[in-house]
């Protein structure tokens, strides 16, 4: 026998047992829901959440479902959790370490990656993750701990007049998630990224995130970010039924990784014109700083220049050296971003001897070093190949330790340049 039980106005769950009801309207509430706290501090959101006791229509930011019930709400951020998710996720995460991030609406669970695990790359910096890893299993996103905990606002000497605010286009995370899930060679029953739906809007003009041309007819859409991808811009792999759109009779076409759409920008520190992902941006002017460059420090004194210089392994617009007036490609520079003052490393009077923290004997600067004629030459500091024609720091005592100048730059910095 099928019984239709009334639903609780607070949590939306059926009222199987004892509940209270209003005789004049359809308001029902579980006995336990009468004891819901008026305010909670939830790890999904940094602000205090208040219980909104008038049933209202909203989308829960945890489960992404449309609700018409009580909500835990932040008026400042327009952030909502339904009662069930507010309680369930708190129970699930008890005893686990997690990190709240200002650019992703789920918390990242912190765990240690074992050595024999498969290789995982960080979705922020694209570097391989070893040791601690922050993961959002719902969205299939993985980050270094330092990348997940990036500060939302910083003061930086490259742009001393204003604070820089962390900028991250959530469209990138949405795209990463959908392409990751559909790249797997298994039967796909749903799009793992829960924001995506099928879009068929013939009236509003929107552009594809891959080819940047106008979208006409059906496309894939992230309903949170208003991000669109042409069906023609992605490779059809298989058919699938999308649970978010159960009223569609037609199957959706799955996609594999063809082109990862990335909104590129130019970093004003290193001049790279193809940066994507994290950046720090000044809200008062157009200054943009790639997150990797934000970790660089002004630390080298050069002659009479009023500011300390920063070591850049590469400056992408090949600036003119203030000493020799030449421009170089693939040469490291000492650079003052504020003044656009650049000195290539070939023109810098480097210290002739340094003490390296990973080698007992002192290292001496030599114009070049060829230990043999095998044709294979490596830096002993980073274990990457090196050009035998480049200047390096070399140990004369043991004759077999060679280091790139860039690999011992901390020791070079400790010796003030004239």
In the Cβ-directed half-sphere of 228, how many Cα atoms lie within 13 Å? 21
pLDDT tops 50 at residue 99: yes
Query: The pTM is what?
Result: 0.39
Q: Model confidence over 168-198: pLDDT tens digits?
A: 555 445 555 544 444 433 332 323 334 444 4
What pLDDT shows up at residue 359?
A: 84
Q: What is the pLDDT of residues 312-352, one digit of tens each?
A: 888 888 888 888 888 887 778 888 888 889 988 778 777 78
Residue that is written with structure tokens 């039924």 in the block = 241
pLDDT for residue 236: 37
Q: Encode pLDDT of 60-73 as tens digits.
A: 876 667 888 888 88
Length of the chain: 418
Structure tokens of 176?
């990463």
* The pair of three-digit structure tokens given for residue 323, joined into one six-digit string: 């000493």
Check residue 366 and give its pLDDT. 85
Q: Which has the minimum average pLDDT: 90-99, 129-138, 230-239? A: 230-239
With contact defined as beta carbons under 8 Å apart, do 195 and 223 qualify?
yes
Q: What is the reported pLDDT for 43?
A: 64
Rounded distance between C-alpha atoms, residue 334 and residue 416, angstroms: 13
Q: Is the pLDDT of residue 107 over 60?
A: yes
Q: How many CB atoms lie within 10 A of CB 351?
A: 16
pLDDT tier, 249 (very low <50, low <70, confident <90, very high otherwise): very low
Backbone phi, psi, residue 118, to 5°: -70, 160
Domain with CATH 3.30.60 in the chain: 98-149
DSSP per-residue string spanning 276-334: -S-EEEESSS--EEEHHHHT----B--TT-SS-BEEES--TT-PBPTTT--B-SS--EE
**What is the predicted pLDDT for the residue at 137?**
65
pLDDT digits (tens, 9 = 90+) for 23-57: 777 788 877 787 788 888 776 677 788 888 776 78
Can you give the pLDDT at residue 100?
63
Give the chain's mean pLDDT.
69
Sheet of 98-99, strand order: 98-99, 108-113, 131-136, 141-143
Instruction: Kindly report the CATH number that applies to the domain delimited by 98-149.
Output: 3.30.60
Please state, in angstroms and rounded to a whole number, the distance separating the CA atoms of residues 359 and 208: 53
């Amino acid at each position: 026998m099928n019984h239709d039980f009334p639903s609780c106005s607070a949590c939306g769950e059926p009222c199987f047992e004892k509940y209270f009801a209003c005789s004049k309207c359809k308001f029902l509430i579980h006995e336990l829901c009468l004891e819901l706290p008026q305010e909670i501090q939830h790890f999904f959101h940094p602000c205090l959440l208040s219980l909104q006791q008038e049933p209202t229509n909203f989308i829960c930011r945890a489960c992404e479902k449309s609700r018409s019930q009580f909500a835990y709400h932040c008026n400042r951020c327009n952030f909502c959790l339904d009662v069930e998710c507010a309680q369930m996720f708190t129970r699930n995460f008890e005893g686990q370490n997690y990190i709240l991030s200002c650019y992703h609406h789920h918390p990242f669970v912190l765990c240690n990656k074992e050595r024999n695990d498969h290789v995982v790359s960080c979705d922020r910096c694209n570097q391989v993750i070893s040791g601690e890893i922050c993961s959002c299993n719902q969205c299939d996103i993985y980050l270094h701990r330092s990348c997940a905990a990036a500060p939302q606002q910083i003061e930086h000497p490259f742009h001393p007049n204003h604070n820089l605010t962390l900028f991250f286009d959530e469209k990138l995370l949405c795209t990463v998630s959908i392409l990751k899930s559909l790249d797997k060679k298994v039967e796909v029953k749903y799009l793992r990224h829960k924001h995506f739906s099928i879009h068929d809007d013939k009236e509003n003009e929107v552009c594809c995130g891959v080819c940047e041309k106008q979208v006409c007819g059906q496309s894939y859409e992230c309903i949170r970010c208003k991000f669109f991808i042409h069906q023609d811009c992605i490779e059809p792999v298989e058919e699938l039924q999308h649970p978010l759109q159960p009223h569609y009779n037609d199957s959706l076409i799955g996609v594999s990784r063809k082109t990862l759409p990335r909104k590129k920008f130019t970093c004003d520190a290193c001049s790279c014109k193809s940066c994507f992902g994290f950046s720090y941006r000044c809200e008062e002017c157009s200054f943009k700083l790639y997150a990797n460059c934000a970790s660089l420090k002004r630390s080298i004194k050069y002659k009479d220049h009023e500011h300390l210089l920063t070591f850049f392994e590469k400056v992408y617009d090949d600036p003119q050296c203030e000493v020799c007036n030449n421009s170089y490609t693939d040469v490291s520079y000492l650079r003052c971003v504020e003044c656009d003052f650049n000195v290539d490393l070939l023109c810098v009077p480097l210290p002739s001897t340094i003490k390296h923290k990973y080698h007992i004997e002192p290292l001496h600067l030599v114009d070049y070093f060829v230990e043999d004629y095998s044709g294979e030459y490596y830096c002993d500091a980073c274990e990457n190949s090196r050009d035998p024609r480049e200047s390096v720091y070399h140990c004369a005592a043991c004759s077999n330790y060679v280091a790139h100048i860039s690999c011992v730059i901390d020791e070079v910095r400790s010796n003030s340049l004239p």
